[in-house]
Amino acid sequence: MFALVVAAAFAIQVQVQAGKDTAGKKDVNVRINVGAGGARPRGAPRRIPVTPELLRTAFKDPEARTLLLRARAARMTQDSALLSYDAMSYQRISAGLGFSSIGRDRLMFRHEDVAHVRWQRGVGAWVQLEGARTAIPIAPAEAQDSANRDMNFDDGSAIPYYPGYETLWIGGGVAKAQVNEREIVHPLAEGAEAYYTYATGDSLTLRLPDGKRIQLRELKVSPRAPRWNLAVGSLWFDVSTG
């Protein structure tokens, strides 16, 4: 079951009452409003505006723009063909530390879990944890036993798909329509033209057993500047649907 959490900012009203003084002044009620006001909330999305010049230089060829717009629309469209599924989900999380000049990499932490996931459109997901284990090789045995008892990954089991799931990006999660440079900038999100340039590349045709042909086209993505939150690579899309 998924819960939608809506955060709202409220103004705090504080009333301060002052009594009469020797000059015979009347009582005064002072109301103080404490809130966000017009300031930007902490952690609000931040993005570069897409100017006409940025839009003009974003595409190396006209077909690249068409392919990007189709892929952008398809990314935010829910898969209407999938009604339900029943799957076993496996997830592994590892962290290591290594110094090439000293020796091989060392495993610091690893967690694995297996879950039985059932999902149905209009109903939601049912997740049953089948097994889980956690290892911290650098810690004493007592600490590892304590970690296995205390860590609760029931809600963190990998769910293969749910409406809005980001299937074409690092880490999955819910797809966001617009870019946010506080995170890794998605090359298909609205406003990505301010961060990337696009060009079409090779093409590929797949023939299915029923004789149907699917034509794929490569979209090359390049960052305008080297930054930690920008990606470089190639994305392949169905020419007809994106």
Radius of gyration of the chain (CA): 26
Compute the distance between CA of residue 205 and CA of residue 212 in angstroms, rounded to an integer: 10
pLDDT in tens, 98-140: 766 666 777 888 888 888 989 888 888 888 888 888 888 877 8
Q: Is the pLDDT of residue 11 over 60?
A: no
Residues in the chain, how many? 242
| Domain ranges within the chain, ordered by starting residue | 52-78+164-238, 84-156
pLDDT in tens, 166-184: 766 765 677 788 999 888 8
pTM over 0.75: no
* SS3 of the chain: CCCCCCCCCCCEEEEEEECCCCCCCCCEEEEEEECCCCCCCCCCCCCCCCCHHHHHHCECCHHHHHHHHHHHHHHCCCCCCCCEEEEEEEEEEEEEECCCCCCCCEEEEEEEEEEEEEEECCCEEEEEEEEEEEECCCCCHHHHHHHHHHCCCHHHCCCCCCCCECCCCCCCCECCCECCCCCCCCCCCECHHHCEEEEEEEEEEEECCCCCEEEEEEEEEEECCCCCCCCCEEEEEECCCC
User: Which of the four pLDDT bands, split at 50, 70 and 90, describes residue 78?
Assistant: low
For residue 166, the model assigns a pLDDT of 77
> How does the average pLDDT of the chain come out, rounded?
76
User: Which of the four pLDDT bands, split at 50, 70 and 90, describes residue 156?
Assistant: low
56-65, 110-119, 233-242 — most confident range? 56-65
- Token pair 């952690």: residue: 43
Q: Once rounded to an integer, what is the mean pLDDT over residues 43-58?
A: 91
For residue 57, the model assigns a pLDDT of 95
What whole-number percentage of the chain has pLDDT above 90? 32
User: Which of the four pLDDT bands, split at 50, 70 and 90, describes residue 12?
Assistant: very low
